[in-house]
Structure 1
């Protein structure tokens, strides 16, 4: 049983969220109620409030039959690395998070139209918040990385226009391009292996191909040193938990 007395939402209310949860549990088609609930729990998909973590177990229970509940639970998890001051509440949701992980993976296996959004939610559930925040569909992906050897900012492009490292000039565009060196799928490890194998399992060829480039190597156009893209990006952007 949740003690809602201290579980304020984005407006500082402590009673409105449980009322809204009661409504959606019996009327999943009420879009207006879902919209209000989402706005109260997660602010601009960036900040989650105590009421969000308090509501998470109930949302996960609803998620097996409610797409809206699944998406809202995923939005809460994408914010879980932020400075919300609710680490104890998040830790108390461990069972619900485990259930959500299984539910999201099952949804991915069905090859849904919202595949990428669900994939990003699952990355957040697995604690890969930095990838959940930036990974696209590899039709128009860019990553800014500091070269580990000379510290110059290198633009990594993975998309329909090319797969390269470059120096970005805001007048000339991406200059001095160098082709990326994709990783071999057999050499992927840890999260890279999981990301690639999951995409491949679900028939997401473009996503899988983008991942081997993202976890591959790039040449710095300035000093010509070669570095692993994902390692450098994760090192600079992985949140401190």
Structure 2
């Protein structure tokens, strides 16, 4: 409460998506007293606008949402949703930095929640990635049932489609009339070959018994062969290089 009130002294910086500076603090006061669905709904659309836009009030509210997250599913979800959008153009880096300690605790809370096997496991998994500042993977990671990743071959620059899902796990050249042609099977990374965020993602999914997710991650962080020039490259490295969000 103290941090939020200290921040709202500068009224020009603490506005929500409607330009209001008083409504979000009032709504936060209300949900602390009564966990009301309609109030949480209004908080959601005041703090996160369509097209994934966030506002100064979103980050001013983050510490308080995280404090509520241990006992409130809506608070946990809204805090995670704000963090997943933290790589965007919002001009609130100072407010985000002020929440560093709370975000570190939020990561621990999310990790415990993952181990409880929530029905929204993938969403919580992506929230955890955002709390680790892995915004790229938080934004693009799917459940590997019907996932496609498009990137340029680092050797010949031809556009390669990477498929990881129930339909197959391959690299190909996409022809809009013939479909995916010249398919080449992917080479998944072994657990020993994984490092960094890829290792964390794989080991967490394995720990929690999400084998399809773990298997998809192993393929995503593995290698593919370009169907055009036959060069072999790391899928995750090339896809990240082409699609990493711009940090403002």
State whether TM-score is above 0.5: yes
Match of 1:195 among 194, 198, 201: 201
Displacement of 1:152: 1.1
Query: Which blocks of at least 5 consecutive residues in structure 1 are unaligned?
Result: none
19-28 vs 72-81, which deviates more?
19-28
Partner of 1:87: 93
The equivalences for 1:21-170 within 5 A come to: 21-28=28-35, 30-44=36-50, 46-170=52-176
Q: TM-score, normalised by structure 1?
A: 0.97
Q: TM-score, normalised by structure 2?
A: 0.94
SS of the aligned residue for 2:143 comes to: coil
The equivalences for 1:192-231 within 5 A come to: 192-231=198-237
168-177 vs 46-55, which deviates more?
168-177
SS of the aligned residue for 1:175 comes to: strand
Give CA-to-partner distance per residue, 1:195-216, whole Å, 9 cap, x none.
0000000001000000110000
Displacement of 1:189: 0.6
Distance 1:124 1:44 in 2: 19
Q: Does 1:11 align with 2:41?
A: no
Distance 1:110 1:212 in 2: 23
Distance 2:151 2:144 in 1: 17
Give CA-to-partner distance per residue, 1:1-35, whole Å, 9 cap, x none.
2232230000000000001111111111x211111
Q: CA RMSD in A?
A: 1.0
Partner of 1:236: 242
User: Any runs of at least 4 consecutive aligned residues in structure 1 with deviations exceeding 3 A, and if so which?
Assistant: none
Q: State the number of aligned residues.
A: 240
Query: Are the counterparts in 2 of residues 45 and 79 from structure 1 also a CA contact under 8 Å?
Result: no
Give CA-to-partner distance per residue, 1:97-135, whole Å, 9 cap, x none.
111111100100111111110000001111111111111
Query: Are the counterparts in 1 of residues 155 and 231 from structure 2 also a CA contact under 8 Å?
Result: yes
Query: Are the counterparts in 2 of residues 129 and 239 from structure 1 also a CA contact under 8 Å?
Result: yes
Query: Are the counterparts in 1 of residues 88 and 246 from structure 2 also a CA contact under 8 Å?
Result: no
Distance 2:52 2:175 in 1: 30
Q: Does 1:182 align with 2:184?
A: no
SS of the aligned residue for 2:111 comes to: helix
Match of 1:172 among 170, 173, 178: 178
Distance 2:228 2:117 in 1: 42
Distance 1:92 1:167 in 2: 46
Distance 1:239 1:166 in 2: 25
Distance 2:197 2:124 in 1: 16
Distance 1:51 1:98 in 2: 20
Distance 2:240 2:100 in 1: 24
Distance 1:186 1:92 in 2: 36
